[in-house]
Copies of this chain bind each other. A is one copy, B any other.
Amino acid sequence: MIGVILAGGSGTRFWPMSRRDRPKQLVELWGDAPMIQHALDRLDVVEQDDVPTFVVLGEHLLDVTSRALGSLDDDQFIVEPCPRNTGPAIALAAAYVENRFGDEPFGVFPADHFVGGHDRFRECLALAESRARDGVIVTMGIEPTRPETGYGYIQYENSGDDGLSSYPVSSFKEKPSRRVAERYLDEGGYAWNSGMFVMTPSKLFDEMQRQLPDMADKMREIRGAIGTDEERAVIDEVFSSVQSVSIDYGIMEGADDVEVIPATFEWSDVGHWASIEEVCEPDARGNVSRGDTMLIDTTNSVVYSADTDRFIATIGLDEYVVVDTPDAMLVMPKKRAQDVREVVRRLEERGRDDVL
C-alpha cells in the first residue's frame, strides 16, 4: 500500500509552538521528532516493499518540511500550488500514485495526528488495503468516547461482530451539536471520522467522474502531465482552477461502496494543548511537562518549554497550560485551549509577523 501524508495544515491551536512557517505537523509535540516524522515512521511498519510515501503540501511549506524530513527524496513531495481543501489534494495524490505505480491502493493520512499501537494500526490497514482492492473506499473510524462536537461522524451498519471488521457506511454526518453528539454516543453505530482513507486511484476517479465531473477532467489532465516537462506548469494552471471541497463532502457522502473500519489502535487528532495528555503519558500528578521545569503544587497541567533553556516555575496551578518558546509564551486554563486561535487572530490583526 502506498502512503499519502496530508501535510498542508496550518494548525494555529498550538501557538506559540506552532507558527506560520512551522505548522503543527512540524512541531515536536512528543518524542524527539516532528509529528509528520511520526506519521512517516508508522507507515514504515505498513509498507511491505520499498514503496515510497508521498507528502502533499503547499509550496510555502516545501522547504521547511523537506528540511525537517531529511530522508525524503524530492519526488516524494506533491506540491499544491494553492490550497483547495482535501478533495483536490487527495485527487492530486491519486494522480501521482496511478502515474507512478498504476492502480494500486493508497492510504491517506493526516500528518498531525497521533496513532498508538502500531501492530493494530498495521492490522487495520492490511484489512483496508484488501477491501480497497475489491473496489471499496475504506475510511478508518474511531470509536467515540465522548460526545465530541469537533469531529464529523460516520454512521455504519454495525453487524455486531467482535474484532477487526469493515462495515458498510450508511452516512457521513457533519460536526454535530452537543445534543446530537450525545445521541450518537447513546445509540452506537457511529464512529468519528479520522480523516484516514484507503482506496485505489481508479475508484476515486470513478466517483469523482460521477459526482464532480469537472474536477475529474482536470485531474486527468494533470495525471497525464505528470512526468512530462509540462508537469509543473499544468498543475499550477489546472489545479488552481479546481473547486475547493473536502473529500468528505465532495466524494465520500455520495460515494458507493464506502466502508468503515472501526480502529483497534489508539488515535487522537491532538487538536489543542489540552489534548496533549492523550499522547504524552501524564506523571503521577497528571502533569505533562517538557524542559527545565519546577512544578510546585501543580496538577493536571501542561508545562512546555520548547526550543529554549529557560527555567519555568509554577506554583498552585491546576488544569493550566504554560508554553514557553524563545520569543513568545502563553498561559491559560486548559478549558480555554480552543481560544489560542483568538491569540493568533489578534496577532494577525496587529500585523505581528514576528510572532506568527
Contact = CB atoms under 8 A, between A and B. Distances in A.
A263 to B, nearest CB: 33
Nearest to A332: B315
20 contacts: A16-B311, A294-B346, A294-B347, A296-B343, A310-B326, A310-B328, A311-B327, A312-B328, A314-B330, A314-B331, A315-B331, A315-B332, A315-B339, A315-B343, A316-B332, A316-B333, A316-B335, A316-B339, A329-B329, A331-B331
Contacts of A26: none
A342 B315 CA distance: 9
Given A343-B296, A346-B294, A327 B314 contact: no
Given A296-B339, A296-B342, A346-B294, A314 B332 contact: yes
A340 B314 CA distance: 9
Interface string A329-356: 1111101100110110011000010110
A122 B56 CA distance: 73
A324 interface: yes
Q: How large is the interface on A (under 10, 10 to 19, 20 to 34, 35 or more residues)?
A: 35 or more
A42 B154 CA distance: 72
Interface in A4-46: 16
Contacts of A336: 297, 315-316
Contacts of A312: 328-331
Given A336-B316, A339-B316, A311 B296 contact: no
A320 interface: yes
Oligomeric state, in number of copies?
2
Interface string A96-127: 00000000000000000000000000000000
B317 A332 contact: yes
A249 B353 CA distance: 59
Contacts of A16: 311, 313
Contacts of A327: 309-311
Contact of A329 (B324, B343, B346, B352): B324
A355 to B, nearest CB: 5
Interface in A114-168: none
A355 B315 contact: no
Interface string A291-313: 00010110000000000011111
Nearest to A342: B296
A89 to B, nearest CB: 31
Contacts of A309: 327
A251 interface: no
A316 B355 CA distance: 20
Interface centre among A16, A309, A330, A352 (most CB of B within 10 A): A330
A355 B311 contact: yes
Interface string A270-300: 0000000000000000000000001011000
A322 interface: yes
A128 B124 CA distance: 86
A347 to B, nearest CB: 8
B310 A329 contact: yes
Contact of A331 (B297, B310, B317, B355): B317
A153 to B, nearest CB: 29
A148 B354 CA distance: 45
Contact of A346 (B296, B310, B322, B343): B296
